[in-house]
């Protein structure tokens, strides 16, 4: 029986798939190992979204399970780059998974959740209306749609994610129902942990706090900025070599604030991520999903952040996913206990504007050993292992 905790991070291009294997004990006190799977998915647009990568990943997970069910599956949030893999495996590859326990982000419960939180419901409906407006406009536009916008549309597509979330909710072994979790959720005995200590740090139960204001209609000169600049549309002419019809379609897209609207919707879903701290034999690991600034701020405000030995970098290495102030809490410049620290980023260029952020990754690498899935073959993995004694050295290695 393995005496080391292992984190296996797969290269699924622009997405996440993480298998955590932990030495534990069962109800009778026998030594066992438990397997916790976080997400499986990737972007649906561009180079970061090729579905062919899932076959090798899902087959390896099945091999690791050796025909046993997962002990816990955690769906961090409802974005397609985190949820589409299991449904793809079932429908396209005939690979099925069951789990003894299911944890899903609180708001994915659907109507029952939003009936309890009417403010979140109002903001969610406004976000869906904004999404539909963007999708309808782009469907009629003659202009080529930038890949970053296509990725945002695909990742946030509510109909596609609905099917994937439903599939995940039905993965419980022997009809086990999901637990819809948040920071203050009481998970009772709906987990496999006995020696291992875990803390839910996010999301907040009422996700209305994660929705920013949908931007007003303005006209901007640059399509891909986070907030458009106001300009006089009559004074703008197409650049040389750019078709007038395409140019003015893009200008109308920008004038309606649609880019910023998509990013506002995207942030709200990212900030609803389940963030989990795991502590085993003195080693502390943190898995924040795709949390962005607002979620990190709330985790900090509720005194949830502590120094860790392993950090899964949030939101594929975006600047928003690793705010400097909060990074100083989980990966301070010097390790308080002098132990080695590890971080991993699962990312791919070309799927999402500005992601990964080179400065963010450089900062993390100055404080911890950083593994980057871009160095792996597609479907390959990193293993970071932590020994059962705190005075021994963790290791990182590439899979095949």
Reported as a single tens digit per residue, the pLDDT across 71-105 is 999 999 999 999 999 999 999 999 999 999 999 99
Reported as a single tens digit per residue, the pLDDT across 255-285 is 456 777 888 899 999 999 999 999 999 999 9
pLDDT at 242: 55
Nearest one of 308, 314, 306, 262 to 39, comparing CA atoms: 314
Q: How far apart are CA 35 and CA 198, in angstroms?
A: 14
pLDDT at 210: 97
pLDDT at 150: 81
Supply the Cα-derived Rg of the chain in whole angstroms: 21
Q: What is the pTM for the complete model shown?
A: 0.90
What are the backbone angles phi and psi of residue 371, rounded to the nearest 5°? -105, 140
Q: How far apart are CA 235 and CA 219, in angstroms?
A: 12
pLDDT at 352: 79
Quick one: tokens of 115? 């009936």
Instruction: Give the residues of the chain that fall short of pLDDT 50.
Output: 1, 217-236, 248, 251, 253, 255
CATH superfamily of 4-135+150-212+264-399: Ribonuclease Z/Hydroxyacylglutathione hydrolase-like (3.60.15.10)
Give me the residue spans of the domains in the chain: 4-135+150-212+264-399
pLDDT at 240: 61
pLDDT at 235: 43
pLDDT at 18: 98
What are the backbone angles phi and psi of residue 99, rounded to the nearest 5°? -135, 140
């Amino acid at each position: 029986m393995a005496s080391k905790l292992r984190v296996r991070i797969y290269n699924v291009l622009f997405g996440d798939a993480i298998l955590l294997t932990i030495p534990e004990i069962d109800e009778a006190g026998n030594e066992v190992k438990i397997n916790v799977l976080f997400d499986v998915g990737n972007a649906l647009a561009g180079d970061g979204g090729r579905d062919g990568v899932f076959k090798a990943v899902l087959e390896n997970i099945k091999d690791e399970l050796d025909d046993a069910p997962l002990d816990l599956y955690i769906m961090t949030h409802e974005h397609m780059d985190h949820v589409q893999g299991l449904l793809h495996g079932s429908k396209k590859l005939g690979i099925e998974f069951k789990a003894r326990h299911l944890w899903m982000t609180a708001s994915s419960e659907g109507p029952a959740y939003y009936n309890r939180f009417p403010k979140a419901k109002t903001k969610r409906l406004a976000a869906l209306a904004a999404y539909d407006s963007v999708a309808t406009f782009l469907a009629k536009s003659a202009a080529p749609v930038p890949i970053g916008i296509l990725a945002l549309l695909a990742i946030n597509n509510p109909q596609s994610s609905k099917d994937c979330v439903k599939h995940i909710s039905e993965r419980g072994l022997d009809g086990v129902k999901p637990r819809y979790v948040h920071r203050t959720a009481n998970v009772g005995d709906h987990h496999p942990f006995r020696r291992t200590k875990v803390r839910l740090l996010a999301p907040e139960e009422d996700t209305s706090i994660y929705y920013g204001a949908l931007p007003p209609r303005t006209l901007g000169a640059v399509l891909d900025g986070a907030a458009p600049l106001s300009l006089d549309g009559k004074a703008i002419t197409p650049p040389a070599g750019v078709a007038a019809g395409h140019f003015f379609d893009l200008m109308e897209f920008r004038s309606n604030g649609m880019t910023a609207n998509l990013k506002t919707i995207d942030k709200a879903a990212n900030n609803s991520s389940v963030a989990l701290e795991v502590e085993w034999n003195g080693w502390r690991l943190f898995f924040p999903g795709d949390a962005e600034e607002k979620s990190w701020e709330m985790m900090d405000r509720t005194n949830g952040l502590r120094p860790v030995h392993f950090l899964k970098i949030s939101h594929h290495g975006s600047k928003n996913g690793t705010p400097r102030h909060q990074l100083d809490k989980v990966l301070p410049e010097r390790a308080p206990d002098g132990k080695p620290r590890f971080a991993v980023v699962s990312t791919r260029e070309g799927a999402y504007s500005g992601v990964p952020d080179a400065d963010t990754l450089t900062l993390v690498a100055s404080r911890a050993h950083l593994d980057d899935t871009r160095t792996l073959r597609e479907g390959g993995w990193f293993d970071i292992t932590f020994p059962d004694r705190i005075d021994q050295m963790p290791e990182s290695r590439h899979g095949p």
